Amino acid sequence: MSSIKFSPLIAGTMKWGEWGKKYNTEEMQTVINCCLENNISSFDHADIYGDYSTEAAFGKAFDEMKLDRQKVQFISKCGIQLLGGLRKNIIKHYDYSAAYIINSVDQSLKNLHTDYLDLFLLHRPSPLMRSDEIAEAINKLKHDGKILSFGLSNFSSSQTALISQKITVEYNQIEFSITHLDALQNGSFDYMQINNITPMCWSPLGIVFTKKNEQTAAIIKMVSKLSEKYNAAADVILLAWILRHPANILPVFGTADTARINSLMKATTIQMDLIDWFALWEAGMGEEVA
């Protein structure tokens, strides 16, 4: 298991740049400072964010702040080849050749103005990936000090087992929320606990606040009751629900709104009662617990 100490909530940067807020350098620095003031020291990136531009924009902002690199943790990913202005791909695809993985890490290090990544992830599984070739690249990157730990993103348990034949997998970042419950039901969290893999989850609030349907209405009704009970905002309650799970999940939140970031860490102080956890699970499933 990795010895890297990530913050219990991780700041996802996908929407900071061209794919969302389009923050300039000063605005990014404001969000970085807000995170650090709230003891959120881990930042999640991917090479593709902002059509391959957000990493560099963040790196410029961070570099100018002259902060202590050892007090923050940088996560990045590679593997997805997008159609976009910065690459001449003719079709979206995945590339996990050893040369591509190594070159991608080198580019991320350059973008982020750093000598190492605390965690490097393969972004999505490819049907053509070879575990021995992936292991070759990861072992070299670790030997050279360019990455400190290795993991996967959006990999199933069987895909994780395939990679684990050749190289130790320490993390898997998957989609999980009260509206996306697959990992509770398909054995993903069980597998990770058995194999000492730390789960991270993206989109931890799901579609609760972005889509109106019978499911989200039931969840919001229950969250409203719990918000009053625990004296916490709705998004904090949903994060506390995730943190209650014994797999020690690390949620990667997507908001770049400093007002919301200021309150999120309260989730780490809430020990949700057992009956409240199941009440939310029942609302998310849309049926009674079996």
Percent of the chain with pLDDT over 70: 99
Q: Which of 49, 171, 191, 230 is catalytic?
A: 49
Residue 80: left (phi > 0), alpha (psi -120 to 50), or beta? Answer: beta
pLDDT, position 85: 66
Would you state the pLDDT for residue 3? 74
Strand runs (DSSP E) across the chain, as ranges? 10-12, 42-44, 73-78, 80-81, 93-94, 119-122, 150-153, 171-175, 198-202, 250-253
Go through the domains of the chain in sequence order and give each one's CATH number: 10-207+245-256 (3.20.20.100)
Is 100 part of the annotated catalytic residue set?
A: no
DSSP assignment string, 57-85: HHHHHHHHHT--GGGSEEEEEE-EE--BT
pLDDT at 134: 98
Sequential DSSP letters for 18-62: TTTT---HHHHHHHHHHHHHTT--EEE--TTHHHHTHHHHHHHHH
pLDDT digits (tens, 9 = 90+) for 257-270: 999 999 999 999 99
Question: What is the Cα–Cα distance from 239 to 245, expressed in whole angstroms?
Answer: 11
pLDDT tens track for 158-209: 999 999 999 999 999 999 999 999 999 999 999 999 999 999 999 999 999 9
Write down the pLDDT at residue 84: 74
pLDDT at 126 (0 to 100): 98
Contact 219, 208 (CB under 8 A): yes
Determine what percent of the chain is predicted with pLDDT higher than 90.
Answer: 95
Tokens of 196: 């000492």
Residue 1 has pLDDT above 60, yes or no: no
Is residue 72 a contact partner of residue 43, using CB atoms and an 8 Å limit? yes
Place of tokens 């599984």: 125
pLDDT of residue 207: 97
The least confident of 63-77, 85-99, 119-133, 149-163 is 85-99
